[in-house]
Structure 1
Amino acid sequence: MLRLAGGVGLALMLGACAGRAPHLPPLVLASDQALNCEAIQAETHRNSARISTLATEESLKLGQNVVAGAAGFVIWPAWLALDFQNAAGKESQAFSQRNAYLASLAGNRCNPGNSASTAALPLAPTTPSTLGTSAGMSTSLVSY
């Protein structure tokens, strides 16, 4: 009985190591009020690059889950390697929401009719993601 309890405890500890916890960026920063158009555009491009990296990570993690799930039918401990946290997907969504917020901020500050405008800024990045294009998501979120 003690051996069974030890095996279950070991399996639970190893299963906790299968995936990483998501590190979500904040939607609004206190320093956002001081950003000019160029800084907003630079941060949007950085976020878009991070979304691309996360999309690659998400597809690799999906492949790992498929392999571990299929191998689990033969060797059941392989199921402990399944990652159910979807950290890359959650982070990608948070960066997309941040880009939508920055796009609305840029719309308010960088309009040609606005006296504080210093540069034209596109409304949204054009990096594709697994949920659709970021441009489509950003414009649909901003329009509400």
Structure 2
Amino acid sequence: MSMQIVWYLFTCFMAARCSGAQINQTPSLVLEKGHQAQLICKQTYGHNSMFWYRQDLGQGLQLLFYFVNKQQIDKGNVTDRFQAKSPQTELLHLDISPVKPEDSGVYFCASSLDTVLQSHLLPQQKPPPLVTATPF
């Protein structure tokens, strides 16, 4: 397969332009302390799983909420000021109230198809190598 075809497939996969499917979320918000923020995410992929993530400056993504078929499956380490709801399978709302300066960050929405493996199996890791010290 030529490099151009690989690049085209990668571009279609990442941008979802081949299928016409898309995911949209609320544009940037700038709010004063104490107000309410509502972020809305909508996807047209037909996925049944949706996620909200937050990324703080210089940090990795932090899971906020994970929903499957409108039901909350997981909640990250967030306070009760953060609430999420999924009124439809393709919609996921994130409400933050009242907003505080430490809530600043980049919020990402994602979607995927849930599978039996994702729902019921947990990842396993090999244990670290055992190091034993002996006296000489």
Q: Verify same fold: TM over 0.5.
A: no
TM norm structure 2: 0.27
Looking at secondary structure, tell me which structure has more helix per residue: 1
TM norm structure 1: 0.26
* Higher RCO structure (Cα 8 Å, ≥6 apart): 1
Larger CA Rg, structure 1 vs 2: 1
